[in-house]
Chain A
Amino acid sequence: MDAGLDMRTTGTKSDDSILSILRLIVQGIVSIAKSHWVTLVNFWRPTVCERYPHKDKSLDYKPGPGYKGDFALITDKEKGRLRCIACQSCERACPNHCIRVVPAGKGKDRYPAEFYIDVGLCMNCEICVEVCPVDALTMTPDYECSVHDPRDLIRNIKQLTERGMEFDEVSRVR
């Protein structure tokens, strides 16, 4: 076992001669002084806690690409329409049934008339993104989703398209 773990105090429990009591007192003082020394060392280390959301630094934090945050639908900028072909694969694959796609149009022009994702029900597993055959859905590094009314957590097609404007591809770890 490691030398750092000393077992000096074992066995002194029932022994109560003056000498051993004195030894115990000295050992106690030493071990407690050591503990305080550790606290003192850590006192000078940089602070890692942040008073979220009252400090600007933590608000600036952006997770890396590939973070499983809020959803976005990617727009095909050349064609000027959403990539999504309303195939409803994501709806079927979602383990929590929190996606609802309302398709419109026929054949090649099939598009989603409505696209709801209940972020409150979602468990951020990314299965929906993976099953999409045309890479139309992505998760973004936006993590601030708290609202007062749970109904505000249901994303509709307008919000999803807006957020997807910054994305050309599905957000992935690099």
Chain B
Amino acid sequence: METRSDLRTEELLINMGPQHPSTHGVLRLVLTIDGERVVQAVPHIGYLHSSMEKIAEAKTYRQYMPFADRYDYLNAMGNELAYVRAVEKLCGIEVTPRCEYIRVIMAEMNRIASHLVYFGTLGLDTGSWSPFLYCFREREAIIQLFEDTSGQRLLYHYFRIGGLRNDLPSHFCDKLAEFLDYFPARINEYNDLLTNNIIFQRRMQGIGYLSPELCRRYSVTGPNIRGAGIPYDIRRVVGYSVYPELEFDIPTRPEGDAYARHLVRVEEMRQSVRILKQCLEKLPEGEINVKVPRRLKPVVGEVYERVESPRGELACYLISDGSEKPWRLHWRAPSFYNLQVLPELLKGAYVADTVAILGSIDIVLPDVDR
């Protein structure tokens, strides 16, 4: 057969998303592929933009509270925590010890719930259906407790400036203790099901390598940076709320691949269980609310308050001009920063691994777009 000199191969441009089932929301990835390898990946964001920061300028500090739930919907309690802490710092409000403990309990429960969703959806992304169902069953126990406490199942609006909506319901502590007793055994089960499964391991090991250098360059935080071997956790670095009084480890893995990030999250669930057990023991009696003026007018000034969300460093930057409404509010949303590193991770990866790598950095799209 005659060979023709103008025969050649071409790079192919494919659109992944915005309505792709495995992009965890509405993310559009434009992939340039050469055969089976990704040459370049460009994430297009903004499909879920909801003006969360602009809305704040038109609402009073109290009115904005329920909006804080709504951008990282898997970590609503954590968002509320960041926002109330910022407002309280701005107004110089000190909350009671019981309130602090309950807030930490809620934030840690939400961390477990969020990691369970991550675990389940990563299973889905890599072709395993059962972990998703089992994780959601366990998550249901937490959601039920949230429902009994705050009256809602996903977007709670439970924290208030200077306190909480109400005290814990009478059965809360027993139910939570019961959950904490059986949950670690369930984590072992999930590990047998997914983490130690040889197919999953060989799928996840060695893909999406994130070096410490890359983490620093892109401000990657959360389990992603800890999966690259750097023990950076705001709960330790800043030590906000009652975290300095609690004992817990910060799990890290040196490998930096998708599997390492997965292991860090699994271990974090165990640490959250540890924190919750201590909180239940130490939970002080007493009031939950302090008196706050009806019309909240902070002094002129600005605050930057950081908390550790399940996805990384979550911060609320608030500027007050002395009126009832914030002059400017900005969210340092961890998913936004973590997503920026995706093109670097995808360079040279197989197309089939794209979804697994995306799943392993665990982003929530409304958190990216705000």
Contacts and interface: CB of A to CB of B under 8 A. Distances in A.
Contacts, number: 108
Nearest to B191: A4
Contacts of A2: 267, 270
- For chain A, what secondary structure do more than half of its interface residues adopt (helix, strand, loop), or is it mixed? loop
Interface string A8-31: 011001000000000010011001
B323 interface: no
A125 B195 contact: no
A66 B164 CA distance: 14
A64 interface: yes
Contacts of B65: 125, 127
Nearest to A33: B192
B140 A68 contact: no
Contacts of B64: 95
Nearest to B194: A35
A41 B189 contact: yes
B19 interface: no
B205 A13 contact: yes
Contact of A172 (B166, B197, B251): B166
B62 interface: yes
A9 B170 CA distance: 48
Given A9-B198, A9-B201, A39-B193, A1 B267 contact: yes
A110 to B, nearest CB: 21
Contact of A63 (B147, B166, B263): B147
B153 to A, nearest CB: 9
A6 interface: yes
6 contacts: A9-B201, A31-B198, A38-B130, A39-B130, A64-B148, A124-B155
Interface of B: 59, 62-67, 70, 130, 134, 137, 140, 147-152, 155, 157, 165-167, 169-170, 187-199, 201-202, 205-206, 251, 253, 263, 266-267, 270
Interface of A: 1-2, 4-6, 9-10, 13, 24, 27-28, 31-32, 34-35, 37-39, 41-42, 48, 63-64, 66-68, 93, 95, 123-127, 139, 172-174
